[in-house]
Each structure stands twice: as C-alpha cells, then as structure tokens.
Homo-oligomer: A and B are copies of this chain.
Amino acid sequence: MPARIDPERRRELVVDAAFRLVVAEGMPGVSLRKVAAEAGLNIGSVRHYFEGHEDLLAAAARESGERMGRRLARHPAEGLAGFSGEFAVEALRELVEQVLPVDGERRAEAVVVTELILASRTRPVFAPVAAQMAADLHEVLREALAVLGHPGPDAGARQISALVGGLTLDAITPHGALGPGQVRETLEDALRLLLGVPRQS
C-alpha cells in the first residue's frame, strides 16, 4: 500500500482531520488515535509523519496561522485607499469579515483559532502562533485605518481586534443569540462609530 505517497499531502490530510476533531470535540479531543481514525489511517502511519502528539499540534497550529494570514492578505490595506464615508465602512467591513464566523468555512476556522488562542494560555506550543496571529490582525487593521485617514489607527485597531475576538467567541458558542446576521450588524455599527459615518436611515 505504500504507493509512493506525497508526504506533504499526507501531513495536510492528517492536519485536516485534527481540525475536524477540534471543531467537533474541542482541543482535548485531539488524540493520536482519534486523529488517525478521523483521517482513515492507522496510528502508526500518523506517527510516521509526526514525531508525536506535540509535533502534530504544532503543525496544526502553524497551518491554522497560515490560513488566517492568507485570509488577511487577500484584502490588502492598500485597496482601501481613497475610500470614504459609506464606501469606507463597507470595505473595512469586508476586510474584517474575512476572520469572522459568517459562513461554514470561516466558522470552522474561527473555532480552531479560538480554541488555539485559549489553549495557548497553558500550552507553550501554541503561544508563538497565537501571538503572531494577534499581531498580524492588529497590523492589518492598523494599516487599513491609517489608509482611511483615521486618527489614532493603533487604538482603533485594538478596538476592532477586541470586537472581533468577542464576536467570534459569542458566535461559535451556543449562546445562540448571535447569528451571522447580528454579527454583521454589530460589526457594522462599531465600524460606523469608529469611522464617524452615521447610519443610513
């Protein structure tokens, strides 16, 4: 059966299985045996591509961070140049929604990222990735606000970052009360306030 498999593909397949487990059972649900079962592999195979448990988690964290980086890079801050008023709000909203759980795919990624961030509090493996993701988000937001001519883009970026974290936490949790619609709405309200663009009535 060892049909000259591409090791990178295999690793991706395993990491994806780990993601599914995080979504389904949370970070503690990610065990080597469960990951192997979820990926349709034997535990021996998984351990052939990953040194051990810690290594797998580190790889998954790295992948998660890269996905978030890719999402953020998709809408570079320079693209916001020249926008103002209603258009600025809309453009900024689209940027921020890249990392909010407004659809299935983004929801799954948001779950993984949030579990990772909280776990980074007690598991050193996750700390670097968590810090990098926070820094990346802050930087993108800061640049975007600067391009839009916002005074104090640093403080503004901190506000939006906090809002993103809170909205995500509320949306992925079964408080239930916060669906994608209300997430969008709350985000838009905050951005309007921040950019000084009154709501269109």
Whether the Cβ atoms of A173 and B130 lie closer than 8 Å is yes
Counting CB contacts under 8 A, is A159 at the interface?
Answer: yes
Scan residues 152-173 of chain A and give those whose CB is less than 8 A from a CB of chain B.
155, 158-159, 161-170, 172-173
- Interface size band for A: 35 or more
Residues of chain B with a CB closer than 8 A to A164's CB: 166
Copies in the complex: 2
Whether the Cβ atoms of B118 and A175 lie closer than 8 Å is no
The distance from the CB of A20 to the nearest CB of chain B, in whole angstroms, is 13
The interface residues of chain A, by DSSP majority, are classed as helix
Whether the Cβ atoms of A134 and B166 lie closer than 8 Å is no
The CA of A6 and the CA of B200, in the complex, are separated in Å by 61
The CA of A167 and the CA of B121, in the complex, are separated in Å by 15
The CA of A127 and the CA of B178, in the complex, are separated in Å by 15
Whether the Cβ atoms of B186 and A119 lie closer than 8 Å is no
Contact of A169 among B135, B169, B178, B186 (CB under 8 A): B169
Whether the Cβ atoms of A26 and B186 lie closer than 8 Å is no
Q: A186-B155, A189-B155 are in contact. Are A165 and B161 (CB under 8 A)?
A: no
Among the interface residues A26, A173, A194, which one has the most CB atoms of the partner chain B within 10 A? Answer: A173
Scan residues 104-118 of chain A and give those whose CB is less than 8 A from a CB of chain B.
111, 114-115, 117-118
Counting CB contacts under 8 A, is A120 at the interface?
Answer: yes
The distance from the CB of A200 to the nearest CB of chain B, in whole angstroms, is 14
Q: A174-B131, A175-B130, A175-B131 are in contact. Are A118 and B158 (CB under 8 A)?
A: no
